[in-house]
């Protein structure tokens, strides 16, 4: 049996741990740049607020709500406390995401685990237990808030799946849902009643695995460590959209430095770099370049990204609002392909070492490229000091 622990309204619950006066009050958590609500309490949800609602609409929908800016460093601290408690009841635990984990069930006592997390962390969670990961997640989802659901028999499994939209299954959305709908498959019970060969044809082997999982036949193991990265990407919204070349270039360098952090953490280098930009009112563009050998060097990757910038930013008058820097073709640091034209010197390595050492002690981005000076407003905002994609060890992405 597999268990799934899922925090209820995690960001809001985490804020209530340190600010108990928020309990019972409608709460909205707003994102990096204060524009959108990225999480809401059940009270705020009842008022019509959804994830992604702009803050100005949220204030109109629920003027009595308290809106707080997200703090992923705090959320990660609570997340790891929750993870340690789950490890007390199981030797095999998967850190799936910041607010979710799977575990192999040795003793079925979801209420005990739920109570322990609430008492020692302060966060309410829902727990699902079932023969497979996919069913366990549906169990916890269907028992929110602060519920427990256990599926052990086929009758209980069929009752769980009956009428649930197939899009509730993690991994089925968008085009996959459209393909299934064309064959009149819109619910989970219709999905498992379909021929597995049809599901494989429509959704490849990935969808077929879900078909088996929903039938109670486990094919997805609990992963106690994440698989090696195929690529590492850093980026996201840049806040207010802009056509200012200095500000866009500064965000490119910021994201390069985040990529370099991750490459160092995982001890890998990359052979290729991609820069993608999204524009207001125009299709997004992405361009990739090969690097001179495998590298995780800030200077190499910064220069490559800035070389790509004018090539992907066309027309230059387009307004940028979203971007990603993607390191591809990863290699272990110990097995990297050197270049005949390598320019990295011992001095460069010392500078990297000093930069990393200072930031480890003083704080992330305390020492950073001067190219990011146009983002002083971003770095001066403590809420921007930590980004959710930079939490290491999760298996969801």
What CATH code is carried by the domain that includes residue 58?
A: 3.40.1170.60
Predicted pLDDT at 227: 83
Total domain count, the chain: 3
The encoded tokens of residue 224 equal 């106690």
Those residues whose C-beta lies under 8 Å from the C-beta of residue 214, and which sit 6 or more positions away, are 132, 134, 135, 161, 169, 188, 191, 192
Same-domain pairing of 239 and 197? no
Cα angle 187, 192, 197; round to 5: 120
Those residues whose C-beta lies under 8 Å from the C-beta of residue 252, and which sit 6 or more positions away, are 275, 305, 306, 309, 323, 325
Q: Are the CB atoms for 222 and 92 separated by under 8 Å?
A: yes
Same-domain pairing of 55 and 106? no
Point out the domain boundary residue: 165, 181, 215. 215
Same-domain pairing of 291 and 337? yes
Whether residue 390 is contained in a domain is answered as no
Same-domain pairing of 298 and 172? no
Whether residue 386 is contained in a domain is answered as no
Point out the domain boundary residue: 54, 72, 90. 72
Gap between the Cα atoms of 260 and 213, Å rounded: 37
Whether residue 164 is contained in a domain is answered as yes
Counting as low any pLDDT under 50, the low residues of the chain are none
Same-domain pairing of 272 and 133? no
Q: pLDDT (tens digit, 9 = 90+) per residue, 77-129? A: 999 999 999 999 999 999 999 999 999 999 899 999 999 999 999 999 999 99
Predicted pLDDT at 239: 79
DSSP lists the bridge partners of residue 191 as none
Q: Is there a catalytic annotation at residue 100?
A: yes
Same-domain pairing of 352 and 267? yes
Catalytic residue among 43, 76, 100, 213: 100
Predicted pLDDT at 237: 84
Gap between the Cα atoms of 83 and 5, Å rounded: 9
**Cis-peptide into 183, omega within 30 deg:** no
Q: Which stretches of 21-109 are DSSP H helices?
A: 42-46, 55-61, 72-89
Same-domain pairing of 151 and 272? no
- Backbone phi and psi for residue 278, each to the nearest 5 degrees, phi listed first: -110, 140
Same-domain pairing of 239 and 365? yes
Q: What is the CATH number of the domain that holds 371?
A: 3.30.1490.100
Q: What is the CATH number of the domain that holds 141?
A: 3.30.70.270
Domain that holds residue 325: 232-381
Predicted pLDDT at 290: 95
User: Environment class of residue 18 by beta-carbon count within 10 Å: exposed (0-12), middle (13-18) or buried (19+)?
Assistant: exposed
């Amino acid at each position: 049996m597999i268990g799934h622990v899922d925090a209820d309204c995690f960001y809001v619950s985490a804020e209530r741990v340190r600010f108990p006066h928020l309990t019972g009050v409608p709460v909205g958590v707003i994102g990096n740049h204060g524009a959108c609500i990225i999480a809401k309490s059940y009270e705020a949800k009842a008022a019509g607020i959804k994830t992604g609602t702009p803050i100005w609409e949220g204030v109109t929908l629920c003027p009595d709500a308290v809106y707080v800016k997200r703090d992923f460093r705090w959320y990660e601290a609570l997340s790891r406390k929750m993870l340690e408690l789950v490890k007390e009841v199981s030797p095999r635990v998967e850190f799936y995401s910041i607010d979710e984990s799977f575990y192999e069930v040795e003793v079925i006592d979801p209420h005990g685990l739920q109570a322990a997390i609430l008492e020692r962390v302060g966060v309410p969670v829902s727990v699902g237990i079932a023969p497979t990961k996919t069913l366990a997640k549906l169990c916890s989802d269907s028992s929110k808030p602060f519920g427990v659901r256990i599926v052990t028999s086929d009758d209980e499994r069929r009752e769980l799946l009956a009428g649930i939209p197939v899009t509730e299954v993690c991994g089925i959305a968008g085009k996959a849902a459209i393909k299934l709908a064309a064959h009149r498959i819109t619910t989970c019970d219709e999905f498992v009643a379909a021929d597995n060969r049809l599901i494989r044809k429509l959704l490849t082997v990935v969808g077929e695995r879900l078909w088996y999982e929903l039938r109670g036949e486990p094919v997805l193991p609990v992963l106690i460590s994440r698989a090696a990265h195929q690529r590492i990407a850093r980026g996201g919204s840049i806040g207010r959209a802009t056509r200012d070349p200095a500000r866009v270039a500064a965000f490119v360098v910021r994201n390069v430095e985040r990529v370099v952090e991750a490459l160092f953490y995982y001890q890998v280098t990359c052979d290729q770099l991609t820069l993608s930009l999204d524009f207001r009112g125009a299709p997004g563009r992405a361009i990739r370049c090969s690097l001179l050998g495998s590298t995780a060097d800030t200077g190499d990757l910064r220069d490559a990204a800035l070389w790509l910038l004018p090539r992907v930013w066309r027309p230059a008058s387009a307004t940028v609002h979203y971007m990603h820097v993607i390191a591809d073709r990863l290699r272990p640091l110990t097995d990297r392909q050197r270049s005949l034209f390598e320019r990295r010197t011992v001095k460069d390595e010392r500078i990297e070492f000093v930069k990393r050492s200072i930031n480890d002690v003083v704080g992330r981005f305390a020492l950073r490229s001067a190219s990011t000076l146009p983002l002083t407003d971003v770095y001066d905002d403590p809420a921007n000091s930590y980004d959710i994609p930079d939490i290491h060890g999760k298996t969801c992405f």
